Structure 1
């Protein structure tokens, strides 16, 4: 059995990040019903969050329940009623309090999952090819890469950024009383004050450190008890975490390359072609796609200026075992170098 308070915090942060899958929602329902301690720990997280003006399920109109997916709602209620009324909690069997409490929590999870609320929640977003720098309330700086989107919460006790898409570079003002948290997929970055880069793609999260010390933790409850629930990075270190997988080995790269994109230069060190294509589609109005998923694992080490993307198709053809074909609409398709033309 794990620590209910630790597990509750991980579950609650997962819910707030908007990354809770159907399977994980079912697992949360089961976990809430396992013991009164689990339920109490989760309720404590909600109480703290309410004090920050982030969540107030008591004010949710009853008619909002119509927006909840019926089958998923039924699974939550079935799990709760089976566990509670079936005698899992001996002292609660004849009381409606337990089921009502779990029902309220479940509704909160379903309705608020991924919804930015409260006066402290801000959104920043960039368009294709745009790089923008924002000054946060605590004096920290956030630079967003092209086609990126984040949600920011700053209060007297919380400094939190959720990367919903793309890339962010952080220059964080030191505040030992308020650690700075960055969430992306099922990873959480925790610092006191430092400079680091977080890249979120469809498949993974990559964290690179320019200065200071950064802790990166798994937030998926299935991995919290794993052999490698967290890693510590120092200047020049980088780590990657595939979604729902453990961390990669820590590697090293030149510190100046970590933020090179802020100066208009894209630098790749053993980057997968999947990630390269993902980034190109954030900087270029021309769309790049892979003809086959098998090409996604090809690695690229290269550096080029963002304003010279027109030369990129030729560069890829010369440095990788691929053939780049341009369609009439400006769409580029990457084929294996051995693939026949017209395939």
Structure 2
């Protein structure tokens, strides 16, 4: 009987070629054999159909994102990071004084006045939003005014006393004095006895009935004071006599836990006088604003905008 002739099967052969060509190590001889096999039109058609089908099954390759979009997203990220840092800086600016007070040994809240008797018999009268640290263990009693204002009644027990105010030291030789910290400068008022301010290589002796202001860079000349006005805050009064308007506004706003933002810088230098109630700072502010024809606007409960 004549031998059976196997019929060529292009689809099966295309599948075999497809598998062999994708195996590692396919050489030039194999590729020439494949090229010869593709000379038959049916073989070439079968392989082309298989290749097209394979392309449909493959997952689509990710399209590269335009560089412009990447640049925009990078710029947006930088802007958001800058805004975040600004927000952190603003929060630190607003709440750092409060954190300082809470970390101090003795402190008062905004609008609060407090008297504390120390172990050596001395008494501290703390004004609103004030903070102090006290160390009475050594041969020299050490006090540190962190914020605000304090009226100090010293009990003499044979030991020296020093009050630290930022980088300045105040050596106390009297029994009654006031020390205050303000945004512009620090201040010492002596009501009884004497005290010396030492700042770097400079120093000033201040006697009863005198005051001196000082900063990081200098100590100003000593001035006479009106004792009646100096400690009126202890009784809930702010007695102002020809003082800058900004100073009075900051004092009254501080009793509400706010900071002043003056829209007109010239307004800050107006001179005002009066008796303002520190126990009712909001009413005092409204009265002062009416007299000076000012507009007051509260912002986020932290700022008092004055126009």
For Structure 1 versus Structure 2, the TM-score category normalised by the shorter chain is 0.5 to 0.7
CA–CA distance in 1 between the matches of 2:116 and 2:171?
20
Residue in 1 aligned with 2:226? 254
1:206-258 superposed Cα distances (whole Å, 9 cap, x missing partner): 1111211121221xx4xx1xxxx1112222211111x3232223222222222
Residue in 2 aligned with 1:324? 295
Comparing 188-197 with 141-150, which one deviates more in the overlay?
188-197
Q: 1:166 to 1:323 in 2, by over 3 A?
A: same
TM superposition shift of 1:296: 4.4
Of the candidates 310, 324, 336, which is equivalent to residue 282 of structure 2? 310
Q: 1:328 to 1:204 in 2, by over 3 A?
A: closer
CA–CA distance in 2 between the matches of 1:141 and 1:309?
26
CA–CA distance in 2 between the matches of 1:246 and 1:328?
35
CA–CA distance in 1 between the matches of 2:127 and 2:115?
9
Residue in 1 aligned with 2:114? 132
TM superposition shift of 1:306: 1.3
Of the candidates 168, 184, 189, which is equivalent to residue 165 of structure 2? 184
Residue in 2 aligned with 1:174? 156
Residue in 2 aligned with 1:238? 211
Of the candidates 117, 128, 132, which is equivalent to residue 146 of structure 1? 128
Q: Which runs of 5+ in 2 are unaligned?
A: 1-99
Of the candidates 210, 232, 235, which is equivalent to residue 263 of structure 1? 235
Answering whether residue 168 of structure 2 is matched by residue 196 of structure 1, we say no
CA–CA distance in 2 between the matches of 1:302 and 1:186?
34
CA–CA distance in 1 between the matches of 2:114 and 2:161?
20
CA–CA distance in 2 between the matches of 1:262 and 1:255?
12
RMSD: 2.8
TM superposition shift of 1:167: 0.6
Give the alignment's TM-score, normalised by structure 2: 0.58
Q: 1:293 to 1:182 in 2, by over 3 A?
A: farther
Q: 1:200 to 1:328 in 2, by over 3 A?
A: closer
Question: Residues 94-133 of structure 1: matches in 2 within 5 Å?
Answer: 123-133=105-115
CA–CA distance in 2 between the matches of 1:196 and 1:148?
16
Q: 1:270 to 1:181 in 2, by over 3 A?
A: farther
Residue in 2 aligned with 1:158? 140
Residue in 1 aligned with 2:32? none
Question: Residues 284-299 of structure 1: matches in 2 within 5 Å?
Answer: 284-285=256-257, 288-292=260-264, 295-299=267-271
Q: 1:157 to 1:298 in 2, by over 3 A?
A: farther
Q: 1:168 to 1:303 in 2, by over 3 A?
A: same
Give the alignment's TM-score, normalised by structure 1: 0.53
CA–CA distance in 1 between the matches of 2:147 and 2:153?
19
Number of aligned residue pairs: give it. 205
CA–CA distance in 2 between the matches of 1:251 and 1:315?
31
Is this contact kept in 1: 2:174–2:192, CA < 8 A? no
